[in-house]
A = this chain, B = another copy of it.
Amino acid sequence: MMDLDDLGLKAHNQSRADSHQQAFARLADTLTDAGADVEALLSRIQAFQVAIPSWALGTGGTRFGRFPGGGEPRSLEEKIADVGVLHALNRNSGAISLHIPWDIPTDPAAVRQLASHYGLVFDAVNSNTFQDQPDQAESYKFGSLCHADPVVRAQAVAHNLEVIQHGLALGSQALTVWLADGSSFPGQLNFRKAFARTLESMKEIYAGLPSGWQMFVEYKAFEPNFYSMVVQDWGSALLFTQKLGPQAKVLVDLGHHLPNANIEQIVALLMAEGKLGGFHFNDSKYGDDDLTVGAIKPYQLFLIFCELVYGMQQTGAQPLAWMIDASHNLKDPLEDLLQSVEAMLLAYAQALLVDQAKLEMAREANDVVMAQELLQGAFRTDLRPLLAEARRRAGGAIAPLTAFREAKVRAQLIRERGHKVLATGL
Partner of A372, one of B142, B239, B339, B372: B339
> Complex Cα distance A273/B314, Å?
31
Report the minimum CB–CB distance from A420 to chain B (whole Å).
11
> Complex Cα distance A65/B292, Å?
23
Residues from chain B with a CB closer than 8 A to the CB of A297 are 297, 299
Say yes or no: is A224 at the interface (Cβ < 8 Å to chain B): yes
Interface residues on A, range: 35 or more
Q: Mark out the residues of chain A between 327 and 349 whose CB falls within 8 Å of any chain B CB in the assembled complex.
A: 327, 329-332, 335-336, 339, 346
Q: Mark A292-308, 1 if CB is under 8 A from B, else 0.
A: 10111111000100010
> Complex Cα distance A23/B304, Å?
29
Q: Nearest residue in B to A384 (C-beta to C-beta)?
A: B380
Residues from chain B with a CB closer than 8 A to the CB of A214 are none
> Complex Cα distance A329/B60, Å?
21
As for how many copies of this chain the complex holds, the number is 4
Partner of A330, one of B63, B141, B195: B141
> Complex Cα distance A44/B284, Å?
33
Q: Mark A125-156, 1 if CB is under 8 A from B, else 0.
A: 00000111000000111100000100000000
Residues from chain B with a CB closer than 8 A to the CB of A180 are 64
> Complex Cα distance A286/B222, Å?
7
Q: Is the CB of A372 within 8 A of B67?
A: no
Residues of chain A whose beta carbon lies under 8 Å from any beta carbon of chain B: 19, 22-23, 26, 29-30, 33, 60-65, 67, 130-132, 139-142, 148, 180, 183-193, 195-196, 221-224, 226-228, 232-236, 238-239, 258-262, 264-266, 268-269, 271-273, 284-287, 289, 291-292, 294-299, 303, 307, 310-311, 314, 327, 329-332, 335-336, 339, 346, 359-360, 362-366, 368-369, 371-376, 379-382, 384, 401, 426
